[in-house]
Structure 1
């Protein structure tokens, strides 16, 4: 007697069990992959959101800084304008007595026999037209103006004899020497 064992149904059941296990393993692997992908996506999304928040914070701080820089620039232009005005006021304050000094020096430097017919002023330059009895008086007048502390070296532009020959007409120009702020300040401090 021989026993015949049919292993086909057992093998088929084994195959089916293995294929179910395989499909369950593939399903679990797919679920783990999907869960890992979702977790990784959530992690990157959270990191991206955090980076967006940092970028937004930086942008708002940059806008504030730009506003502060604009305000500082406005303050700087205002400061420059005010410094210019202060300097102008200072110049006006120190040059105000200059006209008085000019006329005082003109009177004290005027030589005997010399007369001014015309005097004009253009910024810091004075132009004279006058008369003198002799050429020597014109030269003395030039030296007297050059020796003045208010005037620079004068330039003689012309000397002509008048029609009757008794007098000389002359023209000259000279630059004013403006007092500096420091010398003016020291002069005020030295006064009792």
Structure 2
């Protein structure tokens, strides 16, 4: 029986399989490279887009900071304006009160007592002056205690003058009590009541 040599055919088949495997492996490698490259491009595009959004947000935040700074400046200006208006209104309200206070002080200042300075600190008045004696200072304090516009007189210091000179210097404080209510009898602006004639 004749013999058939199959070795060449098997070698050819083996070479063909190796070639196909190499082609498939190369195609897979190329596909992987393409996938990685596309992924890199997509990631780079996403990063660029995010950076653009971040820059836009930074610009908007900077604009908001400027607006907030302007608002804070306006609020500060408003607060200063309101404070000035309150001071002006307070001064306007205190004018009649101060006039009455000085009028009452001039009436209740006893003989032998002379004021050299009057200083206002909030609702407190500081009186500085000279008196012929400490007794006259006490009289002045009693007069202030009965004053409608002043209350709580407190003596801070009383010092005798130099030798051979009679009198003393003094400093005392008193609180502002506020203007009293105006009665019908002394209010010239309030209309008088008419009394009907009885019959």
Question: TM-score, with normalisation over the residues of structure 1?
Answer: 0.72
- Report the counterpart of residue 43 of structure 1 in structure 2: 42
CA distance in 2, matches of 1:179, 1:64: 53
- Report the counterpart of residue 153 of structure 2 in structure 1: 153
Is 24-33 or 119-128 further displaced after alignment?
119-128
2:118 to 108, 117, 121: 121
SS at structure 2 position matched to 1:5: coil
- Cα-to-partner distance string for 1:110-144 (whole Å, 9 max, x where unaligned): 34xx1334421344411121347x94x65433211
Give the superposition deviation at 1:159: 6.6
Alignment check: 8 A CA contact 1:120 1:126 kept: yes
CA distance in 1, matches of 2:67, 2:177: 42
- Structure 1 residues 171 and 102: CA distance shift in structure 2, 3 A: farther
CA distance in 1, matches of 2:115, 2:106: 14
- Report the counterpart of residue 25 of structure 1 in structure 2: 24
SS at structure 2 position matched to 1:157: strand
CA distance in 2, matches of 1:33, 1:177: 93
5+ residue gaps, structure 1, are none
5+ residue gaps, structure 2, are 191-199
- Report the counterpart of residue 169 of structure 1 in structure 2: 167
- Structure 1 residues 37 and 139: CA distance shift in structure 2, 3 A: closer
CA distance in 2, matches of 1:71, 1:117: 55
Question: TM-score, with normalisation over the residues of structure 2?
Answer: 0.69
- Pairwise CA RMSD of aligned residues? 3.4
Residues 1:102 and 2:107 aligned together: no
Flag the structure with higher helix content. Answer: 1
CA distance in 1, matches of 2:78, 2:159: 49
Give the superposition deviation at 1:5: 2.0
Give the superposition deviation at 1:69: 2.1
Alignment check: 8 A CA contact 2:129 2:169 kept: yes
Higher relative contact order (CA 8 A, sep 6+): 1
CA distance in 2, matches of 1:42, 1:16: 39
Residues 1:69 and 2:68 aligned together: yes
Give the superposition deviation at 1:170: 4.6
Alignment check: 8 A CA contact 1:154 1:172 kept: no
- Structure 1 residues 63 and 179: CA distance shift in structure 2, 3 A: farther
Aligned length: 178
